[in-house]
Structure 1
């Protein structure tokens, strides 16, 4: 009798519900075109938090410092996100699976799952708070009840994973774009003087035109860089990209660039618009300073300049609700994947993704009730250090260790038994980068360095992986180089093979990249194969192949 427990319920095995939580997304499931995948991924950045972030950093540091900070944020996120997005789309795996084989090891990447899950519930709480503000303003729903409504309403949409999310994102995007973009165009056309006011704004202290200084730029960039982990949410869609072929390679690359690191272009524009609207409210609306960083008020004030009050209120509430649903289904979905990955590897028990949908939402609701919106800059500034450390280490490993030094295997590996449990290259690099950056953030290295914690995190995270890879000679990446299967891993175009093999534990067939030979043999000594999902829940380790010398 086998000790493996691949999944305790039939529901947990249903691929349409579980969306390939712990493993490679097979070709048989990836039926969407490049355009649908890209639109779905970009639909996940419909959040209004960017407007609040842009407003907050502008009010704190002035327009000039905020704009330079946003530029720094955009460049860093694009450059670090590009290799990650490519690997996800090319090899059809999420960022956790990429992280495992990019310097962290099978268990080493558990800590990054927690970092990512933290990102999802922080931003779920932020977006839920914005939605609750809209419901209070438009429907007089008390904030505590609004928090609960914004949390509970996403659950039915998240259950069915990518199939439901793709439809939601594609069909709601056109209306969202019109509601968001048109007010800004109207404001610039009707009040051209608002542009000059915006550019001259010096921040809450009233020092107009006080100029740009590097410390303030980095503080602003640090808040924005809290969004660096957004690439993991983009990847949760990009892993469903169709195979790359000579016929579709232009469309394929366009989709990967736009929906992968290209999300930051749209994010940066939203932050700038958020600051622009905030400055307009401060300059032209009575008591505008008290509501300038709340997106629902930003849009309501502009709508009221264009149409009757009842219609303005209706559209403002519709915009807020659509935006929050579009992003918070992604936050809930991606957070559940991260928690499930971490829990299953630590406990070797697979409870199903829905358990962690509810868990993640419960944490987000607690944060909302604690009024996290009031100390947004502090939360995001602190979190940025952890997010930068993780993403930049993985990007550094791919660029330097895989492609330049060739000390890390170019093809990503994620299967248990093929990897060492821990790899010091990525794991230690991330701990050093995050630890020193957090110490800097709290003034532990002196007040003069305090604004530069994002630089500390970024530099250490980029430099340390190649140093440690050279020092360890790359020997902690692969425990084995042979997975015991004779079938080729890739097709003639370099895409993961769609050949299937039978998993003797679960009794199901899985595609080649998801399979590995079992250490156990059949009754007649025949070779048996096991899926990565079943292997991840092998509590005795009896199916794990021995280490290769």
Structure 2
């Protein structure tokens, strides 16, 4: 398409065209403009400063599950092994999260769109979407269970009813996307920080002997000596949180363009709110274990509730304040924490399910449908009392999450920047990508499959604790190996999207030039559109996704 033709159709009002349900596409386009569900986040929508985006993203890690995870691995493997496991977790998360966070903030894409062009293909990334959606409802259920425990303790609400309340209260908060979530996270973060830090500081000052007790703790079986197998089992549970980077990215994609004026602020925000979330997560896990050890040593029958965050904070508050005030503060902390994280879980999960369904079915049912579906699955998990088998659930899931995130990080760091076999700019539009790319998709299937077999003892008890290393090692090595073997053949179906306008501005940021999609008649910025196959016009990425007869999808380019 020529430059003149492109300029002429920017504001054109093209009538209905054949090849699909235009009413459906128009409705889908309008609904997704609230938070740019399933698509590139344009510059004209990204009005938040770097600090607001960073605080909003970090608000999503207010969850108390870290306290429960830290307590559980410490009780199972002892303090020494737990601390080493947390250290392994932090290093892996930071190393793999950095390239993903950078790409999200630089190119304003969520992790699914990044995954498509980083070795998985247009349809291949559906499997990673399912992995991420599973993460969101597992951790929604875990956080909802903690909130239900708080409601039971503070208000006498039966657990089954508390599970329902903790689910239903989230629904209306998530309907309106980023605009509401950013305000919620900003307003609640200061109070949450104060309520969380007070108990830990109090113990350090008033009970200094608790530090020695903490480091000496050997676990429930008294055999918590330093052991590599135990360290890896502990790390495996912690690494179930590896998919949290996708939730951070759901905020980071709204970062403002990086310029010479905001470069330092931009990088600081990306690092702190991107891979840096793991620093805060690791600290919370250590505090959770610290509080658990204190309760086991100093509270009658403390071992039965030491891994439950609401009881952890309640016991410490009781030392500080009158019983009614202590109970009120503990319940307030739990409720604030669970609302802050579960709005993010619900929001991100709804995006993941909707994205997968739209690509497979070529129909957009609306994000709200899958918001309800995600919450329903989480509620079922809560009613099944997932706390009873938490370590097993998280350890199993970690193998899938690690295989996905590490494979994408490996493709970005090695295949894009070192081998230069993968296109540096992440491509996500239908027609530009092959359906499946063996580089990432194959790496995920192999690494996740083998690590799960190891996790369940398929290669013997000796190797069983090392399933995280299998997942990480294979997912890091296989992408460059497969990319070299295929010579990068399966990344791009096309290199030309039919438009002469540049994709980037002078600073290397995605261009903010707006073009009008001739199907839904909405304006979209340059990176979100391609030329149409059958019309001298442009079409947006979502209308391409819902094109059931390929009326608008560009054909593959001939192989040179």
Q: TM above 0.5, one fold?
A: yes
Q: CA RMSD in A?
A: 1.0
Conservation of the 8 A alpha-carbon contact between 2:26 and 2:520: no
Partner of 2:69: 53
Conservation of the 8 A alpha-carbon contact between 2:101 and 2:270: yes
Counterpart Cα distance in 2 of 1:239 and 1:19: 11
Pairing 1:184–2:177 present: no
* Aligned-residue offset at 1:294: 0.1
3-state SS of 2:417 partner: helix
Partner of 1:444: 458
* Aligned-residue offset at 1:13: 3.3
Partner of 1:248: 262
Partner of 1:110: 126
* Aligned-residue offset at 1:326: 0.2
Partner of 1:530: 539
Q: Deviations over 1:470-500 (max 9, x none)?
A: 0000010000000011111000101101101
Conservation of the 8 A alpha-carbon contact between 1:12 and 1:18: no
1:289 to 299, 303, 327: 303
Partner of 1:524: none
1:389 to 392, 400, 403: 403
Partner of 1:165: 181
Conservation of the 8 A alpha-carbon contact between 2:411 and 2:422: yes
Pairing 1:275–2:284 present: no
* Aligned-residue offset at 1:502: 1.2
Counterpart Cα distance in 2 of 1:162 and 1:347: 26
* Aligned-residue offset at 1:14: 3.3
Q: Deviations over 1:504-536 (max 9, x none)?
A: 111111110000000012xxxxx2110001000
Conservation of the 8 A alpha-carbon contact between 1:11 and 1:17: no
Q: Deviations over 1:131-166 (max 9, x none)?
A: 000000000000000000000001111000000000
- Going from structure 1 to structure 2, the CA distance change for 1:185 and 1:11 (only over 3 Å counts) comes to farther
Q: Deviations over 1:309-343 (max 9, x none)?
A: 00000000100000000000000000000000000
Pairing 1:211–2:220 present: no
Q: Deviations over 1:255-314 (max 9, x none)?
A: 000000000000000000000000000000000000000000000000000000000000
Pairing 1:491–2:500 present: no
* Aligned-residue offset at 1:180: 0.1
3-state SS of 2:532 partner: strand
* Aligned-residue offset at 1:10: 6.6
* Aligned-residue offset at 1:11: 5.9
Partner of 2:517: 503
Pairing 1:156–2:172 present: yes
Counterpart Cα distance in 1 of 2:329 and 2:144: 18
State which drifts further: 538-547 or 315-324: 538-547
* Aligned-residue offset at 1:374: 1.1
Counterpart Cα distance in 2 of 1:165 and 1:316: 23
Conservation of the 8 A alpha-carbon contact between 1:17 and 1:160: no
Counterpart Cα distance in 2 of 1:150 and 1:241: 30
Counterpart Cα distance in 2 of 1:153 and 1:13: 27
TM-score (normalised: structure 2): 0.96
3-state SS of 1:163 partner: helix
2:79 to 45, 53, 63: 63
Counterpart Cα distance in 1 of 2:373 and 2:63: 22
* Aligned-residue offset at 1:67: 0.0
Q: Which 5+ residue runs of structure 1 have no aligned equivalent?
A: 522-526
Partner of 2:332: 318
Partner of 2:4: none
TM-score (normalised: structure 1): 0.98
- Going from structure 1 to structure 2, the CA distance change for 1:244 and 1:436 (only over 3 Å counts) comes to same
Pairing 1:309–2:334 present: no
Count of equivalent residues: 542
Conservation of the 8 A alpha-carbon contact between 1:6 and 1:535: no
Partner of 2:413: 399
Q: Deviations over 1:141-197 (max 9, x none)?
A: 000000000000011110000000000000100000000001100111000000000
Counterpart Cα distance in 2 of 1:117 and 1:39: 23
Conservation of the 8 A alpha-carbon contact between 1:6 and 1:350: no
3-state SS of 1:373 partner: helix
Pairing 1:409–2:409 present: no
Pairing 1:356–2:365 present: no
